[in-house]
Amino acid sequence: MTATIAALSSGAGKAGVAVVRLSGPAVGAALRQIAGGAPTPRMAALRRLRGAAGEEIDRALVLFLPGPASFTGEDVAEFHVHGGRAVIAALIDTLTAIPGIRLAEPGEFTRRAVENGKLDLTAAEGIADLVEAETAGQRRQALRQAGGALERAASAWRAELTRALALLEAEIDFPDEEDVPALFAVATATATRLVGEVEAALAGAARGERLREGARIVIAGPPNAGKSTLLNALARRDVAIVSAIPGTTRDTIEVHLDLDGYPATLIDTAGLRQTEDPVEAIGVARALDRAGSADLVVWLSPADAPADPPDLAVPLLRVATKRDRIDSPPQRCDLAISALTGAGLETLTDRLAQAARAALEGGEAALVTRARHRRELEAMAVHLGRVAAADAATPVEFAAEDLRLAVRAIGRLTGSVDIDEIYDVIFRQFCIGK
Ligand code: GDP
């Protein structure tokens, strides 16, 4: 029998209220044992919760959400208890001592929702993104996806492809030379139209993925230019090691920032210079690699020892640091800052926010928000492209196989084929209780 799963679904740590969620066939038995019976479905009821020996654990709001009209599709109960550690521990211990009930794994509630057909995989990913969303733009994008924006597009594509495929398969099973051109015309017209739609969705992919992950801003420059110091000043907390020894920042350090509502990842790189030290050399190589995929490279060099950046094919902002060390205006830079006096930091933050906005704007409307989506849509476009280019000389079987492979790519996208391998990767990234 399916296990019934229990978990704390609200945040860890002391809080006014904590929500413990239970899903599965043992929900009714659990409610009888600890809450004196199941409350009226979907109505909040104030109940005394009792432990195995009948002792009172807490008084709590209890919700009973019978399946299949619940989030997971199974019987679900929610206990809104006082959010103290001991209360939560006593409730979870009592629940998991009931036969058939165990602790939930990360993402297991959502996984059940997908397995029971309540959500497709892309909507489930939207829920994960909603939990992770740190900025308003990320929240809106995640909400759209959790609401099934990509799911609807995918199911419309699948319906059209299945129809075209059925026509071709009928032709393969009951060959009739005269019908072939007409059937081909339907298949190629469908494929041509869908290639256009898939490519339009892919066009927004970069922004959609960026919005999820944040714009990438790389801080680079020679050792001792003041990169770590700047990062700390920007992040307003001690995240990077600040030291006067060149090459201390051997690897990269990433900090997530909200720049005027636009998410950004600031990446502090190792000193960009030729080096004999193998460990540092790896850091330098990685730094250059990062800089190559950045939305903006902020090139720092000391006002009293200016250095030129390497050639990079990404937007560059040249910043002179340690402005306090020289009297005359610094040379060879777009702006000058001093982490010591705070001069220029506000202008710099504005410039970073502008760069993040430019990299992310338009992302909210994107259907494609993950590399996984992009891969499947690209596969779809390849197969559909072949069908679109088919002519009288193309065997019907070939066109049918390409349509089948395109449908399969949609199946991987929405989680209806190759389920186990995809699910394991995706649900592992969820938090427990979701
Ligand atoms: P990184 O190697 O580029 O990360 O450089 P750090 O941030 O570790 O800074 C190198 C040295 O420069 C440290 O001793 C910092 O205190 C100093 N420094 C950083 N910013 C400033 C600044 O604005 N003014 C002055 N005078 N010193 C600074």
> How far apart, in whole angstroms, are the C-alpha atoms of residue 161 and residue 196?
14
Return the CATH architecture of domain 213-360.
3-Layer(aba) Sandwich (3.40)
User: Cα(255) to centroid of ligand 1, in Å?
Assistant: 18
Nearest ligand 1 atom to the CA of 341 is: 23
User: Cα(279) to centroid of ligand 1, in Å?
Assistant: 22
Nearest ligand 1 atom to the CA of 241 is: 8
Q: Are strands 316-321 and 296-302 parallel, antiparallel or unpaired?
A: parallel
* CATH 1.20.120.430 domain residues, the chain: 122-204+368-427
- Residue 243 annotated as lining a ligand binding site: yes
- Residue 72 annotated as lining a ligand binding site: no
User: Cα(321) to centroid of ligand 1, in Å?
Assistant: 8
User: Cα(353) to centroid of ligand 1, in Å?
Assistant: 23
> How far apart, in whole angstroms, are the C-alpha atoms of residue 295 and residue 266?
11
- Which CATH number is 4-104 given? 3.30.1360.120
User: Cα(176) to centroid of ligand 1, in Å?
Assistant: 79
> How far apart, in whole angstroms, are the C-alpha atoms of residue 302 and residue 320?
5
Residues ≥6 apart with Cβ < 8 Å to 280: 247, 250, 270, 271
Residue nearest to atom 21 of ligand 1 (CA): 322
pLDDT at residue number 245:
52
* CATH 3.30.1360.120 domain residues, the chain: 4-104
- Residue 21 annotated as lining a ligand binding site: yes
Residue nearest to atom 26 of ligand 1 (CA): 322
Considering only CA atoms, which of 213, 210, 211, 201 is closest in space to residue 373?
201
The backbone torsions φ and ψ at residue 322, rounded to the nearest 5 degrees and listed phi first, read: 55, 45
335 bridge partner residues? 319
- Residue 275 annotated as lining a ligand binding site: no
Best mutation site among 218, 219, 224 for ligand 1, i.e. most ligand atoms within 8 A of its Cβ? Answer: 224
> How far apart, in whole angstroms, are the C-alpha atoms of residue 43 and residue 60?
13
Nearest ligand 1 atom to the CA of 222 is: 3
User: Cα(262) to centroid of ligand 1, in Å?
Assistant: 27
Nearest ligand 1 atom to the CA of 300 is: 3
- Residue 78 annotated as lining a ligand binding site: yes
User: Cα(229) to centroid of ligand 1, in Å?
Assistant: 6
Residue nearest to atom 24 of ligand 1 (CA): 322
- Residue 359 annotated as lining a ligand binding site: no
> How far apart, in whole angstroms, are the C-alpha atoms of residue 30 and residue 303?
69
Report pTM: 0.73
> Position of tokens 């030129």?
308
- Residue 35 annotated as lining a ligand binding site: no
- Residue 228 annotated as lining a ligand binding site: yes
* CATH 3.40.50.300 domain residues, the chain: 213-360
pLDDT at residue number 222:
84
Nearest ligand 1 atom to the CA of 339 is: 23
Residue nearest to atom 20 of ligand 1 (CA): 226
User: Cα(51) to centroid of ligand 1, in Å?
Assistant: 59
pLDDT at residue number 220:
85
Per-10-residue mean pLDDT, the chain, length 434: 93 89 97 96 97 94 96 97 94 96 94 92 93 87 93 93 84 70 84 94 89 87 86 70 52 77 80 55 62 83 87 88 90 90 91 89 83 94 94 85 93 79 66 71
Q: DSSP of 234-299, one letter per residue?
A: HHTS--S---SSTT---S-EEEEEEETTEEEEEEEPPP-S--S-HHHHHHHHHHHHHHHT-SEEEE
> How far apart, in whole angstroms, are the C-alpha atoms of residue 184 and residue 303?
68
Q: Which residues line ligand 1 (CB under 6 A)?
A: 221, 223-229, 242-244, 249, 271, 321-322, 324-325, 338-340
- Residue 434 annotated as lining a ligand binding site: yes
The backbone torsions φ and ψ at residue 110, rounded to the nearest 5 degrees and listed phi first, read: -65, -35
User: Cα(278) to centroid of ligand 1, in Å?
Assistant: 24
- Residue 246 annotated as lining a ligand binding site: yes
The superfamily CATH assigns to domain 122-204+368-427 is tRNA modification GTPase MnmE domain 2 (1.20.120.430)
Considering only CA atoms, which of 257, 332, 330, 331 is closest in space to residue 296?
257
User: Cα(340) to centroid of ligand 1, in Å?
Assistant: 9
